[in-house]
Amino acid sequence: MSFRLRVLGLLALIALAATAATAWLTLRQVTSQVQDSVTAGRQEVSRITGELHAYGFAHGTWTGLSPTVSELAEDTGQRIRVTTETDVLLADSDALAGRTPRAVSGQPPVLVDPRPVLRLPAGLVPMASIKRTVTAIGEYRSTAVYAACLTRAGARVTARTDSLGLPVVSAAPRSAQCVKPDLWVEPQGRQDAAAAFKCEKEPDLTACLQRVFTERTASVAPPRLTVRLGVRDESPATLAAAPTVAVAAGVALVALLGALLLSRAVLRPVRALTSAARGLGEGELERRVSVSGRDEIAELGRAFNRMADSLQAAEQQQRRLTGDIAHELRTPLANLRGYLEALRDGVVEPTPELLDSLHEEALLQQRIVDDLRDLALAEAGALTYHRATVDLGDLLEACRTAHRAQAHTAGVTLRVDIEGPVHVDADADRLRQVLGNLVGNALRATGQGGTVTLAAVRRGAFAVVEVRDTGKGISAEDLPRLFDRFWRADPSRGRATGGSGLGLSIARQIVTDHGGTIAARSTVGAGTTFTVTLMATGEPVVDG
């Protein structure tokens, strides 16, 4: 079966199953939600209780509450019955609408407490909190009396909340017969203070002060309300099944169309990838796929193009490597062959100097072959390392000793600069091979009277080795190619100024295998510095 048909079948099955399950769940859940909303929706309950609370908070009395209850019943469609906690009826929306009150539903009543909740600032000392509470008791008592008077006088009363959570009342029009009482009235004020000071030793000071506030203002605050909503045995609204079935069928159709479009969108780039992969396998390394978008298929296409780029680069690198090896071996082997044939034919006398030259050339070819073998093993991860704790100071001294004769012959000063003990966990022989390559290059690049310095220092958790020379330097455009195979700064590829061209490639691979880095910086005419960074072992030594 084709991929398109499998995708279509799978998506169609998923869409149909999801649609059927969604339709069944929708019918069941929405019917339950409709029944709940008929009795008392959460938003409607919140609005009704909120407006009743706001009325009592602002007016300080339940006088004149009936218009508010009528308006709420009309807006929400709820049957509202409001009584006090002692079952004194304050308002009934059915009676206000002129019809016989119906039996209220069996849902639990909702309590509405219009008294404010104190908002004492955090961080106050107990004494300051007590004083603010005493002041708040007097303020609320005065405001509640004043607001109740304004309400009975027919004024339109509004209130805002101050920083302590108390109402700040305003009225339009103002009533001359209503005057706000004083905050402090003896002996009531002293009794308020005495009750508040009893909270000083309570573990929960804020809760105690709120309780005192509620008790001391109970005489003037409007009582708590009991609000009942809904009508008993009222038939709930039901959900019509036809629209749900129609929607489900529409969803299924859209899912099928989406599956068809999805299969087309997936198969087109897949076909392009298949064709490009087939061409790549047949040797067409320049084959690429056109990529657009940011989805998974586009990412797959980009990954394929990156893979093709890598394969093409590897092919080109292999061709360059083959050419470089042929270049490196052709001329010296031709020389060896020519001299050997001349010796065989008696054209040239086998002098010791000639034999030494031929032997040196054979050793050079052996070195190239050995370097190629080391590089191949290193890049394949097959080089053997025998790790141990290595003192870089001893390693640099050994390297100086090994190259002292070469430096003396070249007229170059070879120095070692060590700043304290520096140790690393590494293969000493392989590190010596790295340093040997770097020092050999530095000595060849440095003229008579110059200096090559081997330095080691610990910088935090790292050990840093530098090989610095005062030679002719390397140009900025040549630095990126410094670690390429068979590359030498000498364009003529002469033996006098360069080795096999593999030493730096081998050195980089060895350092990388040790978890380190190697880098170079250079200034033409001033010299070059190679820096090898490895993880240090042991604790750093701190002077003083």
Check whether 543 has a pLDDT greater than 60.
no
353 and 417 co-located in one domain: no
Which CATH number characterizes residue 366's domain?
A: 1.10.287
In sequence order, the 6+-apart residues with CB closer than 8 A to the CB of 487 are 481, 501
The pLDDT of residue 493: 45
Q: Structural domain of residue 248, as residue ranges?
A: 3-40+240-274
In this structure, the answer to whether residues 437 and 414 fall within a common structural domain is yes
Amino acid occupying residue 276: A
The whole-number pLDDT of residue 495 equals 46
Average per-residue pLDDT for the chain: 81
Do 369 and 441 lie in a common domain?
no
Question: Is residue 34 situated within a structural domain?
Answer: yes
Backbone angles phi and psi of 501, in degrees to 5: 85, 10
Q: How far is CA 256 from the centre of its chain?
A: 37
Per-residue DSSP letters for 132-193? Answer: HHHHHHHHHHHHHHHHHHHHHTT-EEEEEE-TTS-EEEEEES--TT--PPPS--TTHHHHHH
Sheet holding 80-84, edge to edge: 89-92, 80-84, 225-229, 110-112
Secondary structure element (H or E) that encloses residue 89, with its range: strand 89-92
Q: Are 350 and 403 in the same domain?
A: no
Q: Does residue 482 contact residue 504 with C-beta atoms inside 8 Å?
A: yes
* % of residues, the chain, pLDDT over 90: 15
Whether 396 is covered by a domain: the verdict is yes
Domain end point (choices 321, 343, 375): 375
pLDDT band for position 496 (cuts 50, 70, 90): very low
Closest CA to 398 of 359, 358, 433: 433
Torsion angle, CA of 373/378/381/385, rounded to 10 degrees?
A: 100
**Pair 181, 145: CB distance under 8 Å:** yes
Of 315, 349, 375, at which residue does a domain stop?
Answer: 375
CA 459 to chain centre: 31
Q: Among residues 280, 258, 166, which one has the least CA distance to residue 220?
A: 166
- For tokens 């609408």, name the residue: 97
Paired sense of beta strands 451-459 and 517-523, if any: unpaired
Residue 37, classed as helix, strand or coil, is helix
Higher pLDDT, 273 or 389: 389
388 plus 367 within the same structural domain: no
Residue 61, number of CB atoms within 10 A of its CB: 22
**How far is it, in rounded angstroms, from Cα 269 to Cα 301?**
8
Residues 365 and 496 placed together within one structural domain of the fold: no
Identify the sign of the CA torsion 485, 490, 492, 498.
negative
Residue 7 has pLDDT above 80, yes or no: no
pTM for this prediction:
0.42
Question: Is residue 319, in this structure, part of any structural domain at all?
Answer: yes
Question: How many Å from the N-terminal Cα to the C-terminal Cα in the chain?
Answer: 79
Query: Is 50 in a helix, a strand, or coil?
Result: helix
Looking at the structure, do residues 491 and 396 belong to the same domain, yes or no? yes
Pinpoint the alpha helices (H) of 411-494.
Answer: 428-445
Residue 316 lies in a domain: yes
Looking at the fold, whether 262 and 342 belong to one and the same domain comes out as: no
What are the beta bridge partners of residue 454?
A: 416, 467
- Asked, for residue 440, whether it belongs to a domain, the answer is yes
Confidence of residue 486 (pLDDT cuts 50, 70, 90): low
Q: How many domains would you assign to the chain?
A: 3
**433 shares a domain with 489:** yes
CATH number at residue 424: 3.30.565.10
Structural contact between residues 192 and 134, judged by C-beta atoms closer than 8 angstroms: yes
99 with 145: CB under 8 angstroms? no
In a domain, 111, yes or no: no
| Phi, psi for residue 529 in degrees, rounded to 5 | -125, 125
Give per-residue pLDDT as tens, 81-112.
Answer: 999 988 888 899 888 888 888 888 778 888 99
The DSSP bridge pattern shows strands 462-469 and 451-459 to be: antiparallel
**Pairing mode of beta strands 451-459, 413-419:** parallel
Specify the residue for token string 């081997």: 454
pLDDT at 469 over 50: yes
Q: What is the DSSP string of 41-81?
A: -HHHHHHHHHHHHHHHHHHSS-TT-HHHHHHHHHHH---EE
Residue 5 pLDDT greater than 50, yes or no: yes
Within a domain: residue 261? yes
501 or 459, higher pLDDT: 459
Which residues are registered as beta bridge partners of 80? 229
8 Å CB contact between 506 and 367? no
Q: Which of 175-179, 280-284, 523-527 has the highest mean pLDDT?
A: 523-527
Over residues 317-368, the pLDDT tens digits come to 677 666 666 666 676 777 788 878 888 888 888 888 878 777 777 776 776 6
DSSP string covering 255-316, please? HHHHHHHHHHHHHHHHHHHHHHHHHHHTT-TT------SSSHHHHHHHHHHHHHHHHHHHHH
DSSP classification of residue 108:
P
